[in-house]
Amino acid sequence: MIQLYIPLNFLGVIYREIKQSLADMERLFGLLDQHREVADAPTAQPLQVHGAEVRFSKVNFSYEAKRQILFDVDFAIPAGTTTAVVGHSGSGKSTLSRLLFRFYDVNDGGISIDGQDLRSVTQASLRKAIGIVPQDTVLFNDTIEYNIAYGRPGATREQIVAVAKAAYIHDFIESLPDGYATMVGERGLKLSGGEKQRVAIARTLLKDPAILIFDEATSALDSRSEQAIQAQLKEIARNRTTLVIAHRLSTIADAAQILVLDHGRIIERGTHAELLGRDGAYAQMWARQQARRDEGSGSPGSADAA
Ligand code: ATP
């Protein structure tokens, strides 16, 4: 029996290993699949980044022929400033970030960075210029060091430690029995939502992109983590052209520009103060979130649910 058990047990381990590798591959190919939607033009040139001004010009877009998602979306993010997008769930906020990363091409209109249409530059140079802090950070089944270094293959240990310190995750890492060699991911140490976001921030710092996309998590972190992460993001967004997909209006009150998206159209735009003064959709969302906060529901509320 024991003789049988050992090989079977061994097979079980192998099976789990393969399954996990497949899960990793799936994730990778999930990303690559999205890349396959677009191809470099034969004449594509590397993107030349100056200040990294981002411009959406009358963009119309649909994932599927019969269902248009964005309508005449027209805005610019001046170089080095932050623009936040708010709106109901499904209004098209994340679609803007996918188009900026050129996972898909627009149907009409265009998107440019420093005057260069995304379709005229190489995808590799475009993706090098953009850093994304996603809603839910995927951790690879590897060491925490590897997971941070993923932002810039070939980074030195000193560089990794420097960004981990800047993302306020160094002390946590040092407190782990294996430090930077600690295995994380599904098979290793599970990190909390806030810790995972810090890894994503460290990764992004290492990448040092001119353009930053921050897709705010819908699920609330505890308020101390939330505030700490907001402070760090403000720090990395400084002097970078930043697009924030926001769910909590309180986190974007000082954005240079706020766009309110409704069913794929920009229905309001301005600063927080201007939009409150207008007493329109944004002001209503704000009032609802404040009311929820005052009720002490514990949740900061979401613009989606507004
Ligand atoms: P949330 O706040 O819930 O994240 P959102 O405003 O970011 O929502 P998007 O993710 O941009 O919304 O989605 C806009 C619309 O596009 C939704 O109706 C969604 O169902 C649709 N959509 C998103 N991705 C795809 C896709 N790959 N194929 C087809 N439709 C899609």
ipTM above 0.90, yes or no: yes
Ligand 1 centre and the CA of 270: distance in Å? 24
In the three-class reduction of DSSP (H, G, I as helix; E, B as strand; rest coil), residue 295 is classed as: coil
* 213 band by pLDDT with thresholds 50, 70 and 90: very high
Q: Are 234 and 220 in contact (CB under 8 A)?
A: no
Q: At 263, phi and psi to the nearest 5?
A: 45, 45
Q: Mean per-residue pLDDT for 178-190?
A: 90
pLDDT tens-place string over residues 42-86? 999 999 999 999 999 999 999 998 999 999 999 999 999 999 999
| pLDDT the model gives residue 126 | 96
Q: Mean per-residue pLDDT for 155-165?
A: 94
Count the helices and strands in the chain (H runs, E runs): 10, 10
Sign of the alpha-carbon dihedral angle for 199, 224, 251, 68: positive
In the three-class reduction of DSSP (H, G, I as helix; E, B as strand; rest coil), residue 12 is classed as: helix
Q: Which is it for strands 257-262 and 265-270: parallel, antiparallel or unpaired? A: antiparallel
Ligand 1 centre and the CA of 178: distance in Å? 40
Question: Which residue CA neighbors atom 3 of ligand 1 most closely?
Answer: 89
**Pocket lining for ligand 1, CB < 6 angstroms:** 63-64, 69, 87, 89-95, 304
Question: Which residue CA neighbors atom 11 of ligand 1 most closely?
Answer: 92
Ligand 1 centre and the CA of 217: distance in Å? 15
